[in-house]
Amino acid sequence: MEMQIPNLRHLRVFLAVTEKKSITRASNSIFLSQPAITQAIAKLEKQLGAPLFERHSDGMYPTVSGEVWHNRVSRAIDHLQVATLEIVKENTLKEVTPKNLISLISTTQLKALVAVCEVQNFSIASRNLAVSQSSVHRAARDLERLLGVTLFEKNSIGILTTKAARMLSTATKLAFSELRQGISEINALQCRDVSTISVGCMPLARTTILPKSILRFNDGHPDVNINVTDGPYSDLLHHLRQGDIDMVLGALRYPAPADDVIQEELWSPALSIVARKDHPLMEKTQLSAEDLARYAWVVPAKSTPTRQAFEALFNDANVAPPTRIVESSSQILIRELLLESDRLTLITASQVEREINIGLLKKVVFSLEHTRRPIGLCVRKSWLPTVTQSHFLSMLRNVSDDFR
């Protein structure tokens, strides 16, 4: 079930009470009545299912859950603060001031912004949010007035998002991700950890490290869900940086693809040439690049590490690379093409370990030790994993050690 993002104004109240250790002092600092603050805290505690404060004679102090929540809320607000300050700094309208701007923005407005940015269409965004289109329009326009900038521009085919919209949308998604992590951490403290770990996965890890890690992890965390997203590396990286997924597992890129992500190597397998078990090349003991070039191939898309290794195999031998190729990273399609033809593919043997073990496919004898490529994790540099997420990362490392 989708976690409900708390009201941004309630979060501001929570931070004030935590800082001032008193509802009275918080009331004076954020100019809200004491009953309104008491009601906001009560709503937050009900939504989170845990007490956030202990009431003592000398003030209000956060509980363990309150400490966890304070950490996540602070990180979430920081994401929004940085983005709004940057947007206002570039704004030429003098009447807009950055001071206390966050306190004027609502969760509803931010949800509308993200929804429209994702589909670049108000009608579709309203359906995705299950609210009226006029409500989405109003929320988006109110946000534009608050910031003093244009967020959406009309063109002949619909609308375009401006730089300011994209910047704030990304910050909002990262902020909401922090809040969801905070909710998961509080649930875990209450012994009801039903969180979801989102993994973006590339082909190699999908058939090796990941399935074994999930099975072992679920032995100790049976109620935690694992959401696996497949797709091209560029798409997974985009979703990672936007906070849609927690980690990307697969072939690493060097240099690192962006300044706001970090990579961790887990395993460096070599590539192998694989074909059906009775392929004509199986009868040869000494193979050359010329022999390999005579056959059709199945290879991944351009710019991928495996495709680069495929091209280098022939370029290094001064042999024209094969031209009869099918581009695909689909394991099912690759297997069927190999079984029904004399095509070859370049792949890590562990990806087709099961097919090799039952005798469907076989490795062609051709040394490719120099093609070892790092497989590992890519995460956001600022990401702070929950305890449950840390356990899953440890499982990935342990399983990778077995493969290594």
Residue with tokens 């078990």: 277
Average pLDDT over residues 298-308: 90
383-389-392-398 Cα dihedral, nearest 10 degrees: 50
Instruction: Determine contact, residues 373/271, Cβ cutoff 8 Å.
Output: yes
Domains of the chain, start order: 8-171 (1.10.10.10), 196-267+375-403 (3.40.190.10), 272-371 (3.40.190.10)
pTM of the model: 0.86
Residue 313's CB is within 10 A of a number of other CB atoms, namely 21
pLDDT at 1: 46
> Per-residue pLDDT averaged across 291-312, rounded?
92
Q: What is the Cα–Cα distance from 161 to 46, expressed in whole angstroms?
A: 36
Q: Average pLDDT for residues 80-103, to the nearest whole number?
A: 74
Reported as a single tens digit per residue, the pLDDT across 33-57 is 999 999 999 999 999 999 999 988 8
Confidence band, pLDDT 50/70/90 cuts, at residue 402? confident
332-373 pLDDT per residue, tens:
999 999 999 999 999 998 889 899 999 999 999 998 988 888
pLDDT at res. 370: 87
Cα-flanking dihedrals φ and ψ of residue 373, to 5°?
Answer: -130, 140
Please, what's the largest Cα pairwise distance for the chain?
A: 86
Residue 6 has which token pair?
């708390």
In this prediction, residue 93 carries a pLDDT of 52
Residue pair 275/297 in contact (Cβ under 8 Å)? The answer is no
> Comparing C-alpha atoms, which of 199, 204, 200 is closest to residue 373?
204
Q: Is the pLDDT of residue 116 over 50?
A: yes
pLDDT at 236 > cutoff 90? yes
DSSP string, 202-262: -HHHHTTHHHHHHHHHHHH-TT-EEEEEE--HHHHHHHHHTTSSSEEEEE--SS-S-TTEE
In this prediction, residue 206 has a pLDDT band, given cuts at 50, 70 and 90, of confident
From CA 73, how far away is CA 65, in angstroms rounded? 12
Dist CA 61 CA 347 (whole Å): 57
Name the amino acid, one letter, at 156: S
